[in-house]
A and B are shown apart, each in its own frame.
Chain A
């Protein structure tokens, strides 16, 4: 880590203060992502990965609040930054792509309106220039006849096309960082493949750093450079994609990988992780995964720390697995 990372998150804590109690959606999350790199942020639903994404953009809504940690964008701490500073960064330096393409575009505004306003929110340009850039961006994500498409309404696009438009909007101001929250989950597999390929190409070409939030390990395997696995609001394991997926050290990661149907396992029962994710309202004192873990011992009643392991890996476990465990 000689260069400054595009984004570094340190000990991020985002809690929701509900009537029922404090929901610790993100509870000590750290990772970093460098220029042109793609970080896969993996976890089950409810593990806090989406909230992490929103925290980075300062889009956590009441009753949620970032209560601790640092979010360093090129060295600038975004936790506690002013509303106006966050607005300047959003869409310009840091962009986000949402999960459901059917819901992210405003149904009553034309595509050109929604694209041009995104440019003009950050740059003093004429409408014509903005329109030109919007057209280019649509072309960049592979939308045919962009001129015509600019005048359309979102409902005139298919889901895959809409997600391309959303990606084009994210690319408009050439951001340094894109947070993509499961952008391909709602799409057909073939479309998913095309989009993944294009995103990978774009990151490599433009040097944009990307955080790809997903629950799908196979996507991460093909796309990301590094991966961080989240469980119950914490990063439990992080490292280079190949290292982590080939030789998971955390029992939870191993369980996740084990539950992916693969060609080798045909005919065999799929592995599954017993039990359910714990309620974020009252997390156990110690390791949150202990109740579901085959390796748990009395030691697991103490919270494990995120420790560095060999090969630029980090692991939060009292009983890390050795390489041949899977």
Chain B
């Protein structure tokens, strides 16, 4: 188990180094940060001073090491636009994005798993076919367009729900959240459903595929032969087995939700990290772009690591293999 975790940690570190090189290379070498920082009427001496202070006269690897050194201390530079540390900006927006992503994940799981199990158990029923057709649709619809359509119907035409922003927030353990106020909850519904749609389709498909595979296993028939109730067979024997792939994929997809919330946040003007990224790209606010990309990539690597470990906890067979190896 320890060997397994260490191996994964090393792999994660390697990925981080590669991604940081990519982002650093892309942002700092392709563009010219001096142009961004120096006033148009600055003279040559001022330019030199800034180049010196930013270390832009150093060779590439020195610049990179310096950048990494600062990044490890959480210093990603100051935002050109807000004149605040980029990392702080990101962390400030993070709760909003996480709240949205978690809400979406919950919607996907709570609705998706029962639908998927149903579609798997009664594959030929009219209901199941409808569910599966809807899930193909869920894979195909452009998230941003569905978001726009949701605004059109629920905000513009019906006027039921607000279409932009987070609404009222209250502090929970010092973190502002929307879901605890009525106004905030109303604001959360549309974006969360929008973000959930794609994952919902995926959960339905995974749960259905898992159900169809598991339901024909001998151990399900044996469970029936023990005289267990249908509820217990589905709720424990089937559910536990299909949850292994679902949890794995969902864990990995949580990072995807964070990344994809860029789109939903833009449509619904949700003040999270994603919207910050798009705004920063618009303003060419490089430190924030770099901070966001590295932060999300890091988050991703972390999630992958956690899911790997979690997976081995969930499935006793994997655990054993890892112990042996």
Contacts and interface: CB of A to CB of B under 8 A. Distances in A.
Contacts of A105: 219, 222
Nearest to B314: A108
A118 B218 CA distance: 16
Interface in B249-266: none
Contacts of B224: 59, 90
B3 interface: no
A109 B222 CA distance: 13
Interface stretch (B170-178, B185-193, B237-245): B237-245
Q: Which 6 A-B pairs have the closest CB atoms?
A: A91-B227, A103-B218, A90-B227, A91-B226, A96-B225, A118-B226
Contact of B241 (A88, A108, A122, A155): A108
Interface residues of B, number: 23
Interface string B216-233: 011101111111110010
Given A95-B225, A121-B232, A106 B317 contact: no
6 contacts: A59-B224, A87-B227, A105-B219, A108-B240, A122-B227, A155-B317
A308 interface: no
A118 B224 CA distance: 10
Given A59-B221, A103-B217, A121-B232, A109 B226 contact: no
Nearest to A84: B229
Interface residues of A, number: 28
Interface in B299-325: 314-317, 320
B10 to A, nearest CB: 28
- Per DSSP, chain B at the interface is helix
Nearest to A58: B224
A67 interface: no
Given A92-B227, A108-B240, A121-B232, A156 B320 contact: yes
A47 to B, nearest CB: 20
B92 to A, nearest CB: 41
A157 to B, nearest CB: 12
A121 B244 contact: no
A212 interface: no
B52 to A, nearest CB: 62
A109 B237 contact: yes
B64 to A, nearest CB: 46
Contacts of A103: 217-219
Contact of B226 (A107, A108, A121, A153): A121
B222 A166 contact: yes
A155 B324 CA distance: 13
B236 interface: yes
B317 A117 contact: no
Contacts of A109: 236-237, 240
